[in-house]
């Protein structure tokens, strides 16, 4: 985007530019007649929009307006504060020796609830029973089974230079599992 294009876009959201952007706009407008005219035109349009009249209602309008709202409000159920607002309000109304224990109890309750929510969100790390662990071990060995079964084939490939090492590690791996 050209500098003029950027400046003309910024002119529209002027009033919410940061200090650097405002400085760039001011500097550019001082040097660019086209953009300065655009800024002036924009200012004029927004002024004209703002000045568009709203017909003034007659004098009795607002009296009737308020009366209608009041009537409808009187027919509506009275609003009640939300649950937490009521709890906080109740705590605030306590005086004397009840306030501190009540605050402490409310804090403790809040912490318990928060802890319970956090705990439920964490993934369960169940400790599997022993028989599952044993099967797991077999499976772990099984991951190497294909290699073990094909060791004689692999031995034929010179690229497996570290095969001795692999065989040694395999023996070490078994001892790790036992």
Q: Which residues are CB-neighbours of 155 under 8 A, at least 6 positions away? A: 163
Give yes or no for residue 49 binding other proteins (CB under 8 A): yes
Give yes or no for residue 59 binding other proteins (CB under 8 A): no
The least distance separating other proteins from the CB of residue 106, rounded to whole angstroms, comes to: 19
Give yes or no for residue 37 binding other proteins (CB under 8 A): no
Give yes or no for residue 94 binding other proteins (CB under 8 A): no
Give yes or no for residue 76 binding other proteins (CB under 8 A): yes
Between 20 and 152, name the residue whose CB sits nearer to other proteins: 20
What are the residues binding other proteins (CB under 8 A)? 9, 12-13, 15-16, 41-42, 45-46, 48-50, 52-57, 61-62, 65-66, 68-70, 72-74, 76-82, 85
């Amino acid at each position: 985007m050209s500098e003029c294009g950027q400046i003309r876009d910024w002119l529209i959201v002027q009033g919410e530019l940061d200090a650097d952007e405002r400085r760039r706009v001011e500097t550019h407008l001082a040097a660019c007649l086209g953009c300065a005219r655009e800024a002036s035109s924009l200012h004029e349009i927004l002024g004209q929009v703002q000045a568009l009249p709203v017909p003034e209602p007659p004098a009795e309008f607002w009296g009737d307006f308020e009366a209608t709202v009041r009537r409808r409000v009187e027919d509506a159920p009275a609003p009640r504060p939300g649950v937490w607002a009521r709890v906080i309000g109740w705590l605030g109304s306590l005086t004397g020796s009840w306030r501190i224990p009540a605050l402490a109890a409310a804090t403790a309750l809040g912490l318990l609830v928060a802890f319970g929510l956090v705990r439920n969100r964490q993934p369960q790390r169940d400790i599997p029973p022993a028989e599952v662990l044993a099967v797991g071990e077999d499976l772990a060995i099984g991951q190497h089974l294909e290699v073990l079964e094909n060791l004689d084939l692999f031995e034929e490939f010179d690229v497996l230079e570290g095969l001795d090492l692999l065989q040694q590690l395999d023996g070490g791996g078994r001892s790790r599992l036992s």
